[in-house]
Amino acid sequence: MADEKSPDEEGVDKASEAGGTDAEVEKEEKAGGSEEEEGSEEEVENEEVAKEEVAKEEGEEEEGEEEDTPEAEAEDEPPTVESLSAALVEAETKVAEFKDQALRAKADVENIRRRAARDVENAHKYALERMTGELLPVLDSLEKAVESAAMATQASAVGEGVELSLKMFLTALSRVGIEQLDPLGEPFDPQFHEALAMVEKPDSEPNSVMEVIQRGYSLNGRLVRAAKVVVVKAAGEDEECAVNADA
């Protein structure tokens, strides 16, 4: 009967057992709650990572769309009146610039052509050949003065001065390419000599120049004026035939 417990003791034991079971239940509930919380936290983290990845992908797609959008819009949108007007103004400006450049180039070419024509005209007007033709009468006059002075004994000094001037003048002409032709005693050359007469002279070589009536002149090897000469005629030769044959 000693093992029998009083109703109070049984109540205490039941209460303690109930209390023990409640504590275990609470512990299990807490453990389960912690596991559920950990699981929920992991799910939240995974959801956040997934959201970030989705946001990145969406951002990249939006950037790609933004990059493609202007081109697409440019291709799709028709040109406006303002853009066409601006393009027209720009084209007209370029045309005006090119036209101005063309006019300037044409003016430059025309100026060059005019200068070239003027230079050629001046070369024809003031060539040495024309100068030579103008100076030849002066030389002829000086030569006659020397001859006249040689005949007058009192005018010997004057003759020497004129002769010196003539030599200086000939030297100056030779410096610019003008040479005097004095073929006295040389064979007759129809390219540089003009035969005025043919005279028989037994002691001279036939067809040679026995007298120079007027000296000739050349400019840089080209004949300006032929020397007028008297040619020795061979014995028995007709004068007219000989002159024609030599010419």
DSSP 237: -
In the sheet that 216-219 helps form, which strands lie side by side, from edge to edge? 178-181, 216-219, 222-225
Q: What is the CATH number of the domain that holds 245?
A: 2.30.22.10
Higher pLDDT, 81 or 66: 81
Residue 53 has phi, psi (to 5 degrees) of -60, -45
Flag whether pLDDT at 56 surpasses 90.
Answer: no
How many whole angstroms separate alpha carbon 232 and alpha carbon 151? 27
Flag whether pLDDT at 195 surpasses 70.
Answer: yes
Range in 29-33, 131-135, 138-142, 143-147 with the lowest mean pLDDT: 29-33
In contact, 208 and 233? CB cutoff 8 Å? no
- Does residue 109 lie in a domain region? no
- Does residue 212 lie in a domain region? yes
In contact, 41 and 49? CB cutoff 8 Å? no
- Does residue 81 lie in a domain region? no
Higher pLDDT, 123 or 190: 190
Quote the tokens at residue 156.
């010997």
Beta strand segments in the chain, E: 178-181, 193-200, 209-214, 216-219, 222-225, 227-233
Higher pLDDT, 57 or 224: 224
- Does residue 153 lie in a domain region? no
Q: Which residue type, as a one-letter code, is found at position 35?
A: E
- Does residue 6 lie in a domain region? no
Range in 3-12, 46-55, 118-127 with the lowest mean pLDDT: 3-12
- Does residue 201 lie in a domain region? yes
Average pLDDT for residues 171-193, to the nearest whole number? 90
In contact, 225 and 216? CB cutoff 8 Å? yes
Structural domain tally of the chain?
1
Q: What pLDDT sits at residue 41? A: 66
- Does residue 220 lie in a domain region? yes
Domain holding 226, by residue range, is: 179-247
- Does residue 193 lie in a domain region? yes
How far is residue 186 from each of residues 201, 230, 247, measured CA to CA in Å? 15, 11, 16
Average pLDDT for residues 160-180, to the nearest whole number? 84
Mean per-residue pLDDT over the chain, rounded: 76
How many whole angstroms separate alpha carbon 227 and alpha carbon 215? 5
| Predicted TM-score (pTM) of this structure | 0.45
In contact, 129 and 219? CB cutoff 8 Å? yes
Quick one: which of 205, 148, 208, 213 has its CA closest to 181? Answer: 213
Average pLDDT for residues 177-199, to the nearest whole number? 92
Q: What pLDDT sits at residue 121? A: 86
Q: Quick one: the chain helix, strand, coil %, rounded to 5?
A: 70, 15, 20
How many whole angstroms separate alpha carbon 29 and alpha carbon 26? 5
